[in-house]
Amino acid sequence: MTAPLRAAILRHPLGRRIAGYSAGSVIAVIVGEACFVAVFGGLHGGTTWATAAGFVGGAVPNYVLNRRWAWSDRNGRSRQAEIGLYTAVVGTSFAANAIATHWAETFADRLSPSAGWETVMVASAYLLVSGLFFVVKFVLYEVVVFAPRREPADSERVITLDASAPLPGASTASLGGGR
């Protein structure tokens, strides 16, 4: 990518969000994958425990980095609501990873008697599902989780009237208040 093209992309808000999200995701994938391999391969934990370790290891820094690098200009929801929606999105990713790594472990047991190769195959399944969810999560973060505060359209605005104030264009005589 040429320097002028890179500069043009980073000048656009969406380009900056994609770049920030990508950088945060790379860091989260490295941390999450290391946690997964440590629990599955090193501690000989099951795929669900390893996936949980990878999920927490990647999701926590990913939220912080996404909030700072990709969506720092967005303040559409309360932090609590935002974290709840974020948790729902990454929870879906966690469930898909738990299922995929369980299946991968089942097949890896049949394909290779080596614990090392089994770890490589199951960790690859974890990485593959994380990669597949990369675009889906970006779209959900952009449109739902970190959505900007929306100003109501004119047709949605609530009009309040002060009952004690005269209507525009009405004289006080027509309202019975003057002689």
What tokens does 90 get?
């990454």
Q: Would 105 be classed as within a structural domain?
A: yes
pLDDT along the chain (179 residues), means of 10: 72 83 90 90 85 87 85 78 88 87 85 80 85 88 81 60 61 55
In the prediction, which pLDDT does 73 show?
72
In the prediction, which pLDDT does 157 show?
58
Total count of domains within the chain: 1
Domain region containing 145: 3-152
In the prediction, which pLDDT does 173 show?
58
DSSP assignment of 54-95 equals HHHHHHHHHHHHIIIIISTT---S-HHHHHHHHHHHHHHHHH
Q: Would 122 be classed as within a structural domain?
A: yes
Q: Would 117 be classed as within a structural domain?
A: yes
φ/ψ of residue 24, rounded to 5: -65, -35
Q: Would 179 be classed as within a structural domain?
A: no
Note whether 119 and 37 are within 8 A (CB). yes
Q: What does R_g of the chain's alpha carbons equal in angstroms?
A: 26
Q: Would 102 be classed as within a structural domain?
A: yes
In the prediction, which pLDDT does 125 show?
87
What is the model's pTM?
0.64
In the prediction, which pLDDT does 165 show?
61
For residue 123, how many other CB atoms are within 10 A of its CB? 20
Q: Would 175 be classed as within a structural domain?
A: no
Q: Would 116 be classed as within a structural domain?
A: yes
Q: Would 170 be classed as within a structural domain?
A: no
